[in-house]
Amino acid sequence: MIPGVQVAMGGREWTVPPLTLGKLRWLMPKLRQLTDISAQMDETQIAILIEVVIAAMQRNYPDLTAESVENLLDLGNAAEVLRAVLTGSGLREHRPGEAMAVATNSDGSTVFSPPPADTPIP
C-alpha cells in the first residue's frame, strides 16, 4: 500500500496516494478546470474530478473503477477527497476545515499552495 491521506467514502476508510508525475503532467490541464467543488459543478468538472481521484486511487486499489469512484463521491466528501489527492501529491498544503477550491490566475494557470519547506514529498 502506497502511503497517502486517509479519507472516508462509502462507509469505509481509504488511503489516497499521491499522483505519479506522469499522471500529474497529463491531468494538470484538467485540474485547472476544477474551480470549485459545489452543487454548481457542471458535467465536465464532475468527470474531471472522478478522473483525478481514480488516477490516484488506482495506485492502491487497482481494481477500483471510475464507476465505483463515481458512486463513492458525493458533495459531502468530494472536496475532501480532491484535497487528499492534491495534498498527498505535494500540490496543496493541508488546512483543516478549509473549503476546497482550486484557484486559477487570470492567465488560466492553476494556483496551488506549496507544501512547507521542511515537508518531504513522497
The predicted structure's pLDDT at residue 90: 62
Residue type, 115: P
Mean model confidence pLDDT for the chain: 77
pLDDT tens digits along 25-79: 999 888 888 766 777 888 988 999 999 999 999 999 999 999 999 999 998 999 8
Question: What 8-state DSSP symbol labels residue 28?
Answer: H
Contact (CB, 8 A) for 5 and 15 = yes
C-alpha cell at 11: 462507509
C-alpha cell at 100: 476546497
